[in-house]
Amino acid sequence: MDLSSNYTLPLPENPIIVGFGGVGVDILAAVPSFPKPDSKIRTTHLKVQGGGNTGNALTSASRLGLKPRIISKVANDTQGRAVLEELKADGVDTSYFVVSEEGNSPFTYIIVDSQMNTRTCIHTAGYPSMVPEDLRQINLLSALNGARVVYFDGRMHESALVIAEEALRQKISILIDAERPREGLNDLLTFADYVVCSEKFPQAWTEASSIPRALVSIMLRLPGLKFVISTLGKDGCIMLEKCVDKGHQLEETDVDSSFESLTQRRGDSIAMPTCIASPLTRFGADGIGSISGRLYFGTAEKIPSSELIDTTGAGDAFIGAVLYAICAKLPPEKMLPFASYVAAANCRALGARSGLPYRTDPLLASFTQ
């Protein structure tokens, strides 16, 4: 008797999301160690599959049960056709793609160093790139119709701003992946309800002396934000959520000290991801300001070295799970461990999508109960 359906991840009431940004093809070469200049080495494994932040994140979300639509651009070449076919097979709506009859689709060479568990990306951009003139108003309105969240990876900023403005008019929430500073990202971030950052972005963008202080700065610079998350790789993640203090006089606490207190409460024996939350507090950072909210420290799953294959796309997998959590209205205490588990699952296979879990994975539902 098959009991797997009893543990299937529940479907949100509104599962429709829209993503705009990069898609392409990843050519992954796993090697015993990173090659030295002017050397010749052999691969231990080779994989060709779809890639790009938006393609990966929305594939992750689709496998979790959401109904993603992607707005992007590829060329009518072998790679572009493969991108569309793979996304369709994973349940992603590709009907809003712009397909150029000329040029080339984006692709990335990825060297996976099996010795150091690193990946090095060499990207070739698509041509011609997407411009606002490619966005037909009737198609844009159709793509956004009924959507719960719109996701941006920060690329093709001129077109992204057109879509963000329309999403704002329709009161659709916006999540932005702040992987690194990009042209036009500052303008796009002003539309954000949610931001998920790479580990290096917060301090690079704010010039703050620590990540917790940088998150306070981000919240103050972007007053429309509900929360900001910074992933920390194998060390987990940190999240600052804005909360209304409801008139209570909250004593201000140094945000660095608060985060240090949270990290000290984690147990060294915990293998599966968990979340440690602060009470409602006014977090301060000298020279920056203060904000009322909650601070969360999400631990990462401890992956045995024998199971850690490739970290490519781990951040995208995490964001796909965050998109699900927003649609399913999961509280941060459940969202962060859930997203960390999805990211860790993806690290157990070569490439950005091979290890992405499906909603029938019995462990996924346990994070939402």
pLDDT at residue number 269: 54
* Domain assignment of residue 273, given as a range: 53-103+128-357
Is 112 part of any domain? no
Q: What is the mean pLDDT of residues 12-21?
A: 97
In the prediction, which pLDDT does 6 show? Answer: 59
Confidence check: pLDDT of 2 > 50: no
* Portion of the chain with pLDDT greater than 90, in percent: 87
DSSP 286-317: TTTEEEEEEEEEEPPP---TTT----TTHHHH
- Per-residue pLDDT at 265: 83
- Report whether pLDDT(34) > 80: yes
Structure tokens given for 235: 């060390």
Predicted TM-score (pTM) of this structure: 0.94
CA atoms within 13 A on the CB side of 260: 7
Confirm whether 318 is domain-assigned.
yes
Q: CA-to-CA distance for 240 and 227, rounded, in angstroms?
A: 6
Whether residue 1 lies inside any domain: the answer is no
Task: Let me know if residue 200 belongs to a domain.
Answer: yes
Confidence bin at 35 (pLDDT 50/70/90): very high
93 near 68, Cβ under 8 Å? yes
Contacts of 109 (CB under 8 A, 6+ apart): 27, 29, 121, 122
How many helices (H) and strands (E) in the chain? 11, 17
The answer to whether the beta carbons of residues 161 and 187 sit under 8 Å apart is: yes
Residue 50 has pLDDT above 70, yes or no: yes
Identify the residue whose tokens are 């969240």. 149
Among the listed residues 73, 99, 87, the one whose alpha carbon sits nearest the alpha carbon of residue 156 = 73
Of the pLDDT bands very low, low, confident and very high (cuts 50, 70, 90), residue 114 is confident
Tell whether 341 is covered by a domain.
Answer: yes
User: Treating both helix axes as pointing N-terminal to C-terminal, what angle do 314-328 and 53-63 enclose, rounded to 10 degrees?
Assistant: 50
State the virtual CA torsion across 60, 192, 273, 62 in degrees, nearest 10.
Answer: -10
CATH of the domain at 310: 3.40.1190.20
* Element (DSSP H or E) covering residue 161: helix 157-169
Please report whether residue 47 resides in a domain.
no
Specify if 60 maps to a domain: yes
Say how far apart CA 90 and CA 21 lie, in whole Å. 18
Nearest 5°: the CA angle 133, 137, 138 is 135
Rounded CA-CA distance 176/189 in Å is 7
pLDDT (tens digit, 9 = 90+) per residue, 121-179? 999 999 999 999 999 999 999 999 999 999 999 999 999 999 999 999 999 999 999 99
Q: Is residue 5 part of a domain?
A: no
Confidence category of residue 3, pLDDT binned at 50, 70, 90: very low
Residue type, 62: S
In the chain, the number of structural domains is 1
pLDDT band at 249, cuts 50/70/90? confident
Query: ∠ at Cα 64 (62, 67), nearest 5°?
Result: 35
